[in-house]
Amino acid sequence: MSALKIKLRGSGRVHFTTTKQVTVRDSDGKSTTKTETVHHRSSEEYVDQEAVLFHGPELGVGHHIFPFTLFLGPNLPSSFEGQYGNVRYHIQGVIVRDWLWNHRTKVHVTVNSILDLNEYPACIHPGQTGNHKTFCCLCCRSGPLSTRIHTNKQGYVPGEYIIFSAEVDNQSNKEMKHSNVELVEEIVFKAGGHQKIDKRVVAKMHRGKIDAGESEMWDRVAILVPPLPPSFLGHGRPCGIIHITYTLKFTVTPEGVGFSLKSKIPITIGTIPLRNMFNQIQQSTPGPFVAGGVKNPGPPGGFSDGQFGGFSSAPPLPDSFNSYMDLPPPTYAESVWGQVNVRDVEDDENCEGSFEFAPRYPTYNFLPPQPSAPPQF
């Protein structure tokens, strides 16, 4: 063995495809049209460090411990896994051997960028929007279908409850099939002047039909925000190739022919909650989060479960938290999207490690909301 090295890498990657029609001519001059797939790729490097822990030439038999320190710079984007791109950080140990293949072990780690909701003035204010439409059939025109939706504020952290009220007033002559409210994550992947948009429904609530001439109220309904990456992947939009936003979408769908009526309120997901919400965070934590009826696997031995199956024994908080000494510490819970395979093309049979990974995001244990008077529209 000639050396023992430790490496820290962090990067963002995007890859998606589009298609285009191209015309080609054969040797006889005959032209044909075919569909061609175009690959769009982009990347960013965030951290690249290497340290030599042992210079060789020989390490005796036995168990050896080598302390090391690696530096994470400021303004790094949060870890993220998406369909067309990701932001990943990993630490790799390498045993460099003369005349033999190197032995490598890799572990992926989560980096969490800070997004303090207190620095975004709109987050503390209620959100409100509405929409309306009419339905026409030949020469007949019905009364309007109108909707209103109201949130208690516009900024939240994982573990917190979005409190909303909504109203459907169906003065049309059509029956509405159903109404639903969705918390939606929208990701824009960018590469070479092109972009790909992907939307994922984080949480959804559903109600049934609304007869013609009838109305329906959603009165202070609560949606729990699960473990998610912060909006923009952190303060200052530190990632230039992946952009994340959230919206609360209210949709009413008519029976038969007709387009759904939609209303949207922008939502900011942060890592530090609004200060006026600190007193609603509990120090103790209940059992692990259950998504889709499947219980998240528990943490390793020596840790206890948080509300979302996170680690209650959290790492030291960054300096950004020093201004909030009364803020109960978060747990770190596995992303609501679960684990993905993170093996790279360079991870051959000589590289060991676990390649099923999910980022863990700061998650707070908020008290369940208490009933109170509904907001006024």
Domain ranges of the chain: 3-21+32-114+286-361, 117-275
pLDDT at 259: 81
Q: State the average pLDDT over residues 142-150.
A: 88
Q: How far apart are CA 94 and CA 331, in angstroms?
A: 31
CATH number of 117-275: 2.60.40.640
Q: Which of 60-64, 80-84, 167-171, 352-356 has the highest mean pLDDT?
A: 80-84
Record the tokens describing residue 88, joined without a space: 């990943």
Distances in Å between the Cα of 292 and the Cα atoms of 5, 259, 296, 332, 365 are: 42, 29, 10, 20, 20
CATH number of 3-21+32-114+286-361: 1.20.1250, 2.40.10, 2.60.40, 1.10.760?
Answer: 2.60.40
User: Dihedral through CA 177, CA 181, CA 185, CA 186, nearest 10?
Assistant: 50
Residue 14 banded pLDDT, cuts 50, 70, 90: very high
Between residues 375 and 74, the one the model is more confident about: 74
Contact 269, 157 (CB under 8 A): yes
Q: Which of 188-197, 341-350, 364-373 has the highest mean pLDDT?
A: 188-197
Contacts 24+ apart (CB under 8 A), 101-107: 101/350, 102/350, 103/350, 103/352, 104/350, 104/351, 104/352, 105/351, 105/352, 105/353, 106/347, 106/351, 106/352, 106/353, 107/353, 107/354
pLDDT at 360: 96
Give the tens place of pLDDT for each residue, 268-320. 999 999 999 999 999 855 444 443 333 333 333 322 334 455 544 456 666 66
Distances in Å between the Cα of 279 and the Cα atoms of 192, 273, 325, 328, 375 are: 46, 11, 12, 9, 22
Please determine, for residue 227, whether its predicted confidence score (pLDDT) is greater than 90. yes
**String of b and e for 323-333 (b: at least 16 CB within 10 Å)?**
eeeebbbbbbb
Give the mean pLDDT of the chain.
Answer: 85
Please determine, for residue 199, whether its predicted confidence score (pLDDT) is greater than 90. yes
pTM of the predicted model, to two decimals? 0.85
pLDDT at 307: 46
Q: How far apart are CA 168 and CA 252, in angstroms?
A: 8
Please determine, for residue 353, whether its predicted confidence score (pLDDT) is greater than 90. no
